[in-house]
Structure 1
Amino acid sequence: MTDHPLPFRDPQLSFARRTDDLLGRLTLDERIVMLHQFAPAVERLGLGPFRTGQEALHGVAWMGPATVFPQAVGLGATWNDDLVRRIGEAVGDEVRAKRAQDDRVGLNVWAPTVNLLRHPLWGRGEEGYSEDPALTSAIAVAYTRGLRGDDPRYWRTAPVLKHWLAHNNETDRDTASSSVRPRVLHEYDLRAFRGAVEAGAVAGVMPAYNLVNGRPNHVSPLLEQHLRSWTDQPLVVCSDAGAPSNLVDSEHYFDTHAEATAAALKAGVDSFTDHGTDSSVMTGRIRDALAEGLLDEKDIDTAVRRLLAMRFALGEFDPELDPYARTGGLDTEEHRALALEAAEQAVVLLKNEGLLPLAPEEGRTVAVVGLLADACKLDWYSGTLMHRSTPLDGIRERYGAENVLFTEGVDRIRLRCSGGWLTVPRAEGAPNGEARGAEGALDPALLAGRTDLPPLTCGDEPAELALVDWGDGVLTLRTDEGLYLSVADDGFVRASADEPGGWVVQETFRLEAVEGHDGGHRLLHIGTGGYVSVAADGAKVAVSGEKIGREGATVFVSETVEHGADAVARVAAAADTVIVVAGNDPHINGRETEDRTTLALPAQQDRLWRAARAANSRTVLVLTSAYPYAVTDAAQALPALLWTAHGGQAAGTALARVLAGDVSPGGRLPQTWYAGDDDLPGLLDYDIIGSRQTYLYFEGTPLFPFGHGLGYAGFSYSAPEAEVEGELLRVALTVTNDGTIAADEVAQLYVRGAAPSQAAPAGAGRTEGPGGAVDLPRRKLVGHRRLHLAPGAAERVEFAVPVAELGHWSVAHGRWTVEPGAYEILAGASSEDIRLTATVTVDGEASGPRPVLTRGLEAADYDWQRDTEIVDRAKTEGDSVTPASADRPGEVGFGACDFGAGVAGLAFTLAGAGSLSVTADGQSVQLQAEGEGGPYAYRTLTTPLTLQGVRELRVRMEGTVRLARIDVVPAKETA
């Protein structure tokens, strides 16, 4: 007999059997509604409601107070897998603890983001770990293992990786297509996802908004061809918010929502995040697709089975057996200590000419200045702070408040308007500073969006406002009480926000000069796009829901009370040492939906460090930011520079401990810091090989290289050993702390092919030669280890690297290939600071030239290209190549094509209209395509071309031609 009359309730059965049993008991309607993010309860079977999606990127987000750890890019900067795993465990515990308090909290966590930091202007760079796939994968494996837990049966939380695939632009993010050649796909973008999936710690992925090779990620065949081939575990694919609707509404990829929904479900999407908590729209589309024969019940069952499997793994049906069911722990002593440890380990010392560490001494006065000196910034994926530590807080605590001078360095202004001065009225109950608590936080009620506070007016008492230009002319204005000017839904401008924030930031403005008006400016509110007008009822940006245009805007005349640079110079001159804290607000100029336009530090902040340096040569610049800056002048002029991502609740304490020498900085850059914008490719250029992106291929001189970071102790590397043992490359070396203090070092292991690269045609990137790919990365990270060593201590570090890591994706043969020959092993303190080298010889399998007689040529398998992009061959699968613009030709090249004893011609599978010019072995022929039937109407055009032996083939395309494939015409067919 059994106590479990329903098999799906029987914990003695396997999850697979229980899932099948439960699936069979659900009606079709019950199964359909489970495909929406918010699945309702099935009361007749005792099933509760289930929600996919709980943000947990660096702590529990959007659900109130939680421990806030450093941003993801800061966790990447620690290069510490063990630390990140412990953070994952802590975050998972807090998800469970908050779930016990609030059933809106979900156990399916949408984290981490593993998109590679290919381009430093990407607005969401703060969410990723690194520009390198190996480091990103290692940190992702660590974090997901922590989130998942180590119980063999039940999961603490169910992590979902974001965002599949090749997603590095916010500009036109739901309509832009990333052109990703096969080598970049296999060697770069897929690698970031694969490690965590193969480690068994991932419950699924979320597709990105963008398209890849002309096809939306939400209908990508790569989900089945690659993602689900890496594991036997059922993986859930959760759509991004609103993306299913985008397939029709913005991307126009399908004509109807029923067709789009069916295509996404068949491609592998299991959970639809669309229309918020209202599931009726998406479920209606699924029913329409069923009625139209676009889906059948098996498609529904496949997705529901995966969703149910995740729910079983999370212990939903076995609360008495789930080891995490009673997991608690929110704001524990251990979590607070872990947040501090993470913030300390994330600090990167970029330059130090002996000024640091700066030990507190009697009589030493430290000036702390800068727009982020007294800030503890959060981002869109942060929880609510329970503890807050700014750089000023930390330095005052460590050096003694009496020894610390401070000025923020803001420009202080007044705005004259047609009735006097822009004024902040005082009203009963209005915030005036006393509402702030002991840690500086405003009462939670004092938030942007309040409509019960009086709006700004023109009056006799001028409001003195702190003006900060965050770059590109984007301004915030703040009162003496620390409240930002903000715009509520009724359009009135009030002093009501503690910090800029929100999905649409309502606290940013732009001053636009008025022609013919000396010193006059209009004030544009960026969030609404309306201009500020001051009327009798107050300052506002909208009337009856309509924007106020330029003609209706009030003209303001700005009067500067004090320049921030003057205040900084005054304070700097009075101090022994100056700490300038600069950086970004994560809600402004670079965030989700918004890419940056430049690497430059905003001009206002640039002026501040220069003013400090002019007044006091002992000036340290601390950059607290979500991304790199090109601070070339500062790097030359200042004796010390540091960088840290926004470090969460313990950021200020951690920085002070590093500055004082309590902790030797051990963070390392997870991405290249370029010297200027001229070093960058276009934001939408995803061909890291052809355009020489990231440390893997960049041939210029970076400002600071990938992996760079200094400390307060020197380390030496010695006794290298490297040998190939079966399928493993074993490397060992000794790292010794040569300094006088305990410190951290990050030993980094790189490999590269010993053969030099061969040049391709000018402007075309690089090519491949007859012996296989020679355009390998300049060097490639294959291992890292963060060590803590006492003075004089040494540690033997061993790495076991799969020999496959020496390989590349061979476009000639369509497989992963390790060429035979010599490979260099490089070990050191950064990608450019190599201390040891060794050489190993690998007995690989030479790929040889392209076997075009048997395989033909896929157009996307080119070796180099100029002015082309990869597009979809069909809506379900396949790639083609087309000119990037119909106004100019594009060209692709295929090296080392083996035509054997000879062929009589070539056959081109193509669509679209235009011309092709084919060149090989000194011969050139041209074909004309008429373009019947649209972009997916492929046909074959044949041209005579006598070729034999190994030759390079070039194809030049014009118009809207889409080239899918090239095949040979054997000589006998034309005899």
Structure 2
Amino acid sequence: MTAQTPPTPPFRDTALPFAKRIDDLLSRLTRDEKTGFLHQFGPAVDRLGVAAFRTGQEALHGVAWMGPATVFPQAVGLGATWNQELVRRVGEAVSREARAMRARDERVGLNVWSPTVNLLRHPLWGRNEEGYSEDPRLTSAIATAYTHGLRGDHPVYWRTAPVLKHWLAHNNETDRDTCSGSVRPRVLHEYDLRAFRETVEAGAVAGVMPAYNLVNGRPNHVSPHLREQLRGWTEQDLLVCSDAGAPSNLVDSEHYFDTHEEATAAALRAGVDSFTDHGTDSSVVIGRVRRALEQGLLTEADIDAAVRRQLSVRFRLGEFDPAADPYAGERAFDTPEHRALALEAAEQAVVLLRNDGVLPLAPDARVAVVGLLADECKLDWYSGGLLHRSTPLEGLYERFGADRVEFAEGVDRVLLKTSAGTFLHVPPAPDGPGTVRGAEGTLDPALLAGRTDLPPLSTDAAGTELALVDWGEGVLTLRAPDGRYLSVAEDGYVRASADQPGGWVVQETFRLEPHGDGHLLRHLGTGRHVQVAADGVKVAEQNPEVFGLVVAERGEDAVTRVAARADVVVVVAGNDPHINGRETEDRTTLRLPAQQELLLGAARAANPNTVLALVSAYPYALDPADLPALLWTAHGGQAAGTALARVLAGDVSPAGRLPQTWYADDCDLPDLLDYDVIGSRQTYLYFEGTPLFPFGHGCSYASFSYGELTAEVDAATVRAGFTVTNTGDVTADEVAQLYARAVDPSVPRPRRELLAHRRVTLAPGETAGLSFVLPLSDFAFRDVAAGRWRVEPGPYELLAGASSEDVRARATVILEGEPAAPRPVVERGLDAVDFDEQRGTEIVDRTRTAGDSVTPVAGEDGELLFRHCDFGTGVTEVTVEVSGGGTVEFSLDGGPVLAALSPRAPTPGPYDYTTLRASCPVTAGVHDVRLRLRGPLRLARAGFSG
């Protein structure tokens, strides 16, 4: 008898639609198997032939954390290109390398956690490098391009599955897991949600990751907007992956729920589908889910919904159809095309901020290259390892020849003298000096922080001269002559063992603290002081060494020496992405570190032909008045140095544009935790001061003229067009930008708002005609009185030009729109959060699951203003829904208090609301309503009746 082949289960049948296949697979899984899928590291189900699956692979500007890969410019640098097609190709290259790497290492995931679409609202945010722009439209345009590249172009299967970070309104590292942003509805819809929405609606997003912070008093991991907004933007299943450790934060640091079972159930019901918590140990999370089921906090249907969304992503990735997956054989890794693309992206990211004619450099120029970043190719927390590297110094050597380029890093060279009269000594590396970098710049795995098999530092009579690098705010790194950074391993000993500062907790940073006639040397990673012991130099709680600082050479002296001999000086300044501004750490100032300002001043004094090239993850505030030329680029990945050298030499005309405002001073900035971009006039949209450099700014080696701006309005669109002509003598790119502003708005609107842009390449004398079709919805605002988007009738000015402030052509269009109507407060009442103006209040959660209330800022009286409220034929009673204790005072049109409502006793808890009533005759007609909040209460809404 011939054995019969078992029938193919429907979930393996490629002829069936994914929905039916998922239904079949779900029906075959036991409850415990489905529950196991809820952790980031989902186990295999061997009896069904279902493999293990891990959500999450970092891929912000290259495949990260999994070894060497092509490293492209940081995300903010990709944003500075203003070039969607380029960014799409970068996303495609990253996803191809992810597939190729997975083919040889199954730990490489295809559910990629990128891009970051949080808006660069505040330039002191530590993760500025991870976002694209302060503008929601530019952010969504770049993010959409990147996700399309990551997804691939097959109609069914995806090369990788991108997840957007971080939902929602996330712009601070300070207290990021406990602080709450107060985000009014207009800001929420017009600003923070917009970048997510437009990217999701473009169709290449697999899901989102909630942020650590709270919004309006509620943790993002239980955000009702996941259900109410996100999943309404597309019919496609979207996977929501928690951030690392955030599910536990709901209880442990945020104290939002009393038990982890309640928290886990609430997050799952809110829409979180995959829990990234407790590393690879899934037992903690799965135990919480099982207990939540037992306690009736969850149903199996809740689990099915989450697992269904996970399986939807896995099917789209081709996991269950290996023979049909068009990307299964992808092997493109570190190809010539990817290397060329890394260079192209780095070139396009360079922004020329000003140029008085010193650039491009003359072909026979003698160049001095100085500064802390001059011979560095820095990585960040979300970079892969370098396969190739180029520093600005190396790029200029290659372009001009080593005989015409002279280098001075500009750091102090010091000896650290002990109280015994000896000096710190760095033992030689086991393989001798010069082994820090391997072939083609790859990191030598024998010299990584954390090693304990290298000899610790010791002391001797001669000592070792160390490079003391001052990164600002007293944060130092110390480097041996062969390039190794001093680092502290888990055993507490100080060794020269790191190629670069890095790691989740940086172990390569120190601070010199004055003590008597010398200094204590504090290690910042452990918080302990350095001690000289018989068995080597270590960090310890007791007996710190008091060091004398012997300066062998000052950095500014070296800069002065080489600058005086050169025709032109290039000062390369900026930041190390792991120090003074990164994930977990916000910046405290826009200023350049004092040591770098000192070096810049020394170069200027020695040679007026000084060019400042800033290589940084964020903007700075500085005085460019006597600088002949100033450039900025984000850390540009493996080709950064070559790209910068080619721009300086004129091989490439720079055309990067600022993706965010550069402010002139710290006093121009709002508080880091003030998320109300409208009320506090933030970003180019609302800022009324004079920026150092405006949003969209960037210069060129060519010049461009703009023709007349024409505009036509039809029933659904505005059609705008203009010409751009290269009036210079070199081929160059121009980034033409189109903005709009409401001429006479009834509510605060942006000073100008980006609607569209186009990056075009033009030869000398060449003209390009640019046309844009703009839906009328581009001119809408969120009308809080009506609870929806509305295009206001009236004139709108269109502005075409080279930046948000460099306007070259204007046109005015009249839009019919929908006239404003008074608030029908008798029929609808007033939700407290829908105010027009406020003073001294913040928005908080109405309940743990949904809604908003308003409360006074602690220690202040709060005030809410609602304009144009229609009381119909008049009312006789006012009601308020409040919790807590305190008083709500009601007045009209700036007049006296007409009613004061207070509960007899405070309510039991913040979510226990009571309705208060007061007689209060209000005459017929339209009035402005003012509600003053006194004391520790929460106001949910007010109502009026006759």
Q: Which residue is 2:409 aligned to?
A: 408
Provide the rounded CA distance (Å) in 2 between the counterparts of 1:283 and 1:455: 43
Provide the rounded CA distance (Å) in 2 between the counterparts of 1:81 and 1:428: 46
Provide the rounded CA distance (Å) in 2 between the counterparts of 1:391 and 1:859: 55
Provide the rounded CA distance (Å) in 2 between the counterparts of 1:271 and 1:510: 41
Mapped contact 1:424–1:495 kept (Cα < 8 A): no
Q: Which residue is 1:765 aligned to?
A: none
1:232 to 224, 235, 238: 235
Matched, 1:103 2:106: yes
1:926 to 900, 923, 932: 900
Mapped contact 1:813–1:851 kept (Cα < 8 A): no
Q: Which residue is 2:618 aligned to?
A: 627
Matched, 1:145 2:148: yes
1:818 to 791, 809, 817: 791
Q: Helix, strand or coil for the counterpart of 1:53? A: coil
Mapped contact 2:417–2:424 kept (Cα < 8 A): no
AA matched with 2:827: T
Deviations 1:849-869 (A, max 9, x none): 211112111101111111211
1:944 to 908, 919, 928: 919
Give the deviation of 1:426 after TM superposition.
2.5
Matched, 1:890 2:862: yes
AA matched with 2:165: K
Give the deviation of 1:456 after TM superposition.
1.7
Give the deviation of 1:4 after TM superposition.
5.6
Within 5 A, what are the aligned runs for 1:553-564? 553-564=544-555
Give the deviation of 1:313 after TM superposition.
0.4
Provide the rounded CA distance (Å) in 1 between the counterparts of 2:74 and 2:164: 16
Q: Helix, strand or coil for the counterpart of 2:625? A: helix
Matched, 1:789 2:792: no
Q: Which residue is 2:943 aligned to?
A: 967
Matched, 1:125 2:128: yes
2:639 to 627, 643, 650: 650
Provide the rounded CA distance (Å) in 1 between the counterparts of 2:408 and 2:727: 39
Mapped contact 1:565–1:608 kept (Cα < 8 A): yes
Q: Helix, strand or coil for the counterpart of 1:604? A: helix
Mapped contact 1:179–1:686 kept (Cα < 8 A): yes
Give the deviation of 1:556 after TM superposition.
1.0
Q: Which residue is 2:678 aligned to?
A: 689
AA matched with 2:366: T
Q: Which residue is 1:545 aligned to?
A: none
Within 5 A, what are the aligned runs for 1:458-857? 458-514=459-515, 517-518=516-517, 520-542=518-540, 548=541, 552-631=543-622, 633=623, 635-755=624-744, 773-857=746-830
Provide the rounded CA distance (Å) in 2 between the counterparts of 1:194 and 1:932: 38
Give the deviation of 1:106 after TM superposition.
0.7
Give the deviation of 1:321 after TM superposition.
0.7
Provide the rounded CA distance (Å) in 1 between the counterparts of 2:420 and 2:341: 55
Q: Which residue is 2:255 aligned to?
A: 252
Q: Which residue is 1:38 aligned to?
A: 41
Provide the rounded CA distance (Å) in 2 between the counterparts of 1:670 and 1:260: 38
Provide the rounded CA distance (Å) in 1 between the counterparts of 2:836 and 2:877: 21
2:280 to 258, 262, 277: 277
In the alignment, structure 2 segments of 5+ residues that lack a partner are none
Provide the rounded CA distance (Å) in 2 between the counterparts of 1:197 and 1:880: 29
Mapped contact 2:419–2:548 kept (Cα < 8 A): no
AA matched with 1:236: L
Give the deviation of 1:2 after TM superposition.
11
Provide the rounded CA distance (Å) in 1 between the counterparts of 2:127 and 2:423: 36
Deviations 1:298-317 (A, max 9, x none): 00100001111111100011
Deviations 1:688-717 (A, max 9, x none): 000000000000000000000000011111
Provide the rounded CA distance (Å) in 2 between the counterparts of 1:685 and 1:899: 34
Provide the rounded CA distance (Å) in 2 between the counterparts of 1:528 and 1:375: 26
Give the deviation of 1:428 after TM superposition.
7.2
2:883 to 911, 936, 942: 911
AA matched with 1:320: A
Provide the rounded CA distance (Å) in 1 between the counterparts of 2:694 and 2:366: 33
Q: Helix, strand or coil for the counterpart of 1:74? A: helix
Within 5 A, what are the aligned runs for 1:272-351? 272-351=275-354
Provide the rounded CA distance (Å) in 2 between the counterparts of 1:838 and 1:13: 54
Give the deviation of 1:917 after TM superposition.
2.2
Provide the rounded CA distance (Å) in 2 between the counterparts of 1:435 and 1:341: 28
Q: Which residue is 2:851 aligned to?
A: 878
Q: Which residue is 2:23 aligned to?
A: 20
Q: Helix, strand or coil for the counterpart of 2:346? A: helix
AA matched with 1:792: G
Mapped contact 1:66–1:94 kept (Cα < 8 A): yes
Give the deviation of 1:285 after TM superposition.
0.4
Deviations 1:750-804 (A, max 9, x none): 0110116xxxxxxxxxxxxxxxx43110000010100000110011111111111
Provide the rounded CA distance (Å) in 1 between the counterparts of 2:181 and 2:355: 40
AA matched with 1:311: R
Mapped contact 2:484–2:496 kept (Cα < 8 A): yes
AA matched with 1:601: L
Identity of aligned residues (%): 69
Q: Which residue is 1:180 aligned to?
A: 183
**TM-score w.r.t. structure 1 length?**
0.95
AA matched with 1:928: S
Provide the rounded CA distance (Å) in 2 between the counterparts of 1:236 and 1:917: 45
Q: Which residue is 1:212 aligned to?
A: 215
Give the deviation of 1:472 after TM superposition.
1.0
Give the deviation of 1:916 after TM superposition.
2.1
Provide the rounded CA distance (Å) in 1 between the counterparts of 2:358 and 2:919: 73
Mapped contact 2:426–2:496 kept (Cα < 8 A): no
Distance 1:430 1:826, change over 3 A: same
Q: Which residue is 1:865 aligned to?
A: 838
Q: Helix, strand or coil for the counterpart of 1:636? A: coil
Q: Helix, strand or coil for the counterpart of 2:572? A: strand
Provide the rounded CA distance (Å) in 2 between the counterparts of 1:710 and 1:570: 31
Provide the rounded CA distance (Å) in 1 between the counterparts of 2:291 and 2:536: 51
Q: Which residue is 1:171 aligned to?
A: 174
**TM-score w.r.t. structure 2 length?**
0.98
Give the deviation of 1:230 after TM superposition.
0.2
Provide the rounded CA distance (Å) in 2 between the counterparts of 1:435 and 1:832: 47
Mapped contact 1:4–1:10 kept (Cα < 8 A): no
AA matched with 1:747: A
Q: Helix, strand or coil for the counterpart of 1:54? A: coil
Provide the rounded CA distance (Å) in 2 between the counterparts of 1:263 and 1:198: 27
Provide the rounded CA distance (Å) in 2 between the counterparts of 1:506 and 1:435: 17
AA matched with 2:525: G
Distance 1:428 1:346, change over 3 A: closer
In the alignment, structure 1 segments of 5+ residues that lack a partner are 543-547, 757-772, 971-975
Provide the rounded CA distance (Å) in 1 between the counterparts of 2:274 and 2:94: 24
Root mean square deviation, CA, Å = 1.3
Mapped contact 1:410–1:467 kept (Cα < 8 A): yes
Provide the rounded CA distance (Å) in 1 between the counterparts of 2:890 and 2:128: 41
Q: Helix, strand or coil for the counterpart of 2:143? A: helix
Q: Helix, strand or coil for the counterpart of 1:839? A: strand
Greater alpha carbon shift after TM alignment, 642-651 vs 406-415: 406-415
Q: Which residue is 1:901 aligned to?
A: 873
Greater alpha carbon shift after TM alignment, 824-833 vs 528-537: 528-537
